[in-house]
Amino acid sequence: MALCCVGTEEALSVIDRVGLKSFLFQMRQPSGAFTMCEDGEEDTRAVYCAVAVATLLDIPLSPLFDLAPDWLSDCQTYEGGFGAIPGAEAHGGYTYCSFTALYLLNKPTQCRLNDLCRWLSFRQMRYEGGFQGRTNKLVDSCYTFWQGAVFPLLQQVLKDRPDYTTVPMDSSLFDHTTLQQYVLVCCQNVDGGISDKPGKGSDYYHTCYALAGLSIAQHNLFGDNDEIWGPATNRLEEMHPAFNLTIDCFFNARSFFIEN
């Protein structure tokens, strides 16, 4: 992803697609899961990383990921979100990884969409405006992306289903304004950067995902009615919710690897 952000021909040419494809096959498990490294842990993060990289690099998704959708759907919990592995607690980051992987594999309906939508909606806190990562946890700015970026993908899936004819496409399924306010008013550090919540120090991780989620909250992928809270200088570049890359970086990388 970092090389795709650089985006030059020199940077993208550094990637060894043949070697990377071989590595992905080595990380694939008989269950359909993937490990993060040789003899490493297997969880939904690894599946997402593998699917996202393969998609960007135009590596064929079949047969590499043929078993992955079944394993990912087994990771959906009774609450509606997804855990790291089957039987684990529903969590925002793992939910993003699981559903986005299913979306990229063109298997999003293999999970319980109603339950997922309900679980996601209840993670935005009414008082703070931000998202919590798990039930009964505090809000955290990084979930601005991990939870918020699932909504446009889910909304796109729902709009194509005949039983969801009332899904609004001119607005989102979460509150854009209060989410932006939480990030910009509550989490910005006077010395720069963004923290997870008021009173905490800023760091690169929360700055990255809070800004990525802020972009998701500002832009409507299905129309022109963007919702920018505050002055126009708050406007960020539009991000691709499935890759956390700007739209330009995504298409530049995809075009390069398709053509080469």
Is there a catalytic annotation at residue 161?
Answer: no
Is there a catalytic annotation at residue 134?
Answer: yes
Is there a catalytic annotation at residue 58?
Answer: no
Q: Which of 28, 123, 176, 206 is catalytic?
A: 206
Is there a catalytic annotation at residue 240?
Answer: no
What angle (nearest 5°) sits at the alpha carbon of residue 157, between those of residues 255 and 210? Answer: 70
Q: Which of 17, 74, 203, 235 is catalytic?
A: 203
Q: Which of 143, 209, 219, 254 is catalytic?
A: 143
CA 171 centroid distance within chain:
19
Q: Which of 26, 25, 18 is nearest to 64 (CA)?
A: 25
Q: Which of 94, 97, 196, 249 is catalytic?
A: 196
Is there a catalytic annotation at residue 176?
Answer: no
How many residues in total does the chain contain? 260
Q: Give the C-alpha separation, 255 to 140, whole Å.
A: 35
Is there a catalytic annotation at residue 66?
Answer: no
Q: Which of 90, 9, 45 is nearest to 253 (CA)?
A: 9
Is there a catalytic annotation at residue 219?
Answer: no
Q: Which of 137, 197, 200, 235 is catalytic?
A: 137
Q: Which of 45, 123, 134, 176 is catalytic?
A: 134
Residues involved in catalysis: 91, 134, 137, 140, 142-143, 196, 203, 206
